[in-house]
Amino acid sequence: MSGDFLLINEVGPRDGLQNQRMAVGVDDKLRLIQALVAAGVQAIEATSFVSPKAVPQMADADALFPRLPVGPRYSALVPNERGLARALAAGVPEIAVVLSATETMNQRNIRMSLAEAQAECERTLAAARTAQLRTKAYVAVAFECPYEGPVAARQVHALIDAMASAGADTVVIADTIGAAAPKAVDTLLREALSSHGAERLAAHFHDTRGMALANAWVCLEAGIRQLDSSLGGLGGCPFAPGAAGNLATEDLLLLASQSGLSTGIDLPALLQAIELAAELTQQPLGGRSHRWLTRQRAV
């Protein structure tokens, strides 16, 4: 592996909370983000500027963002130019767009064809760059689609190339339903790395089939130094009922530290943030290493 710093992009406040049944108010979201900042988290996906009717949990994005504490690299998801306008008004410095890799996923999720969704992302990225924002583009369901099954690698590479050409500073390969396995991740990364380099790529994994941490390791060995995760594994996938949540931040942090990579994150403080998230969502949280880490903290 090269490079000794891993940028962990904490997506709990957005991807983790968006589908929770328990409503979390703006003040509590702010408490959670403050706890993450206190733990030394360097990058946080704070919210999304989507339709409040579609995602009620994110309806307070306009009120939340201006109140965020200084320090981390904040980002927000925007679905289109309308969302971008709201993000600009709130002072967002970095936006992310999401493009699903299959026709059916786009039709079911946002009622657009793949071509229409791609054009929308390209317009939004162009407008964001004109406004001098940092930009990310997620290529979702990059390994398997809940409607179409396994996704052809050539299709994913074409979309990665398109988003990079549209000006995305970072292209994030997203295993949206947690279907990827290490060999598939390695195969997909090889061509993407040869075309775009590790500095421009990141990854996002879910743990539906228990492979998220193994997939993260493949990325680290390949030189990827930007990965998404969610504290305590908070979150799930609405397209995979009963699925486990995101790659847990504490698991990724432990992997990084035992692989000689620094993250800037204080583990005991992160465990406190996980406890707060469990309290706010009224559900048990914790990645695969959480019980062991908690016992170690007690000792």
> What is the DSSP secondary-structure string of 3-23?
-SB-EEEE-IIIIITTT-SS-
Which of the residues 121, 145, 219, 237 is marked catalytic?
237
Residue 243, pLDDT score: 61
Distance (Å, whole) CA 133 – CA 37 = 22
Residue 1, pLDDT score: 46
- The superfamily (CATH) of domain 7-298 is Aldolase class I (3.20.20.70)
- Give catalytic status of residue 219 as yes or no: no
Residue 239, pLDDT score: 62
Residue 202, pLDDT score: 98
How does pLDDT run along the chain (299 residues), one tens digit per residue? 456 999 999 999 999 999 888 899 999 999 999 999 999 999 999 999 999 998 999 999 999 999 999 999 999 999 999 999 999 999 999 999 999 999 999 999 899 999 999 999 999 999 999 999 999 999 999 999 999 999 999 999 999 999 999 999 999 999 999 999 999 999 999 999 999 999 999 999 999 999 999 999 999 999 999 999 999 999 976 665 556 689 999 999 999 999 999 999 999 999 999 999 999 999 999 999 999 999 888 77
Residue 299, pLDDT score: 73
Nearest to 93 by CA among 112, 65, 118: 65
Distance (Å, whole) CA 58 – CA 64 = 9
Contacts 24+ apart (CB under 8 A), 187-195: 187/153, 188/142, 188/143, 188/153, 188/156, 188/157, 189/218, 189/219, 189/222, 189/224, 190/222, 191/153, 191/157, 192/157, 192/160, 193/222, 193/223, 195/157, 195/160, 195/161, 195/164
Is 136 in contact with 171 (CB distance < 8 Å)? yes
Distance (Å, whole) CA 92 – CA 94 = 6
Residue 241, pLDDT score: 57
The whole-model pTM stands at 0.95
Domain boundaries of the chain, sorted by first residue: 7-298
Is 95 in contact with 77 (CB distance < 8 Å)? yes
Residue whose structure tokens are 């390969």: 173
CA 3 to chain CA centroid, nearest Å:
21
- In DSSP notation, 193-241 reads HHHH-GGGEEEEEB-TTS-HHHHHHHHHHHT--EEEEBGGG----TTST
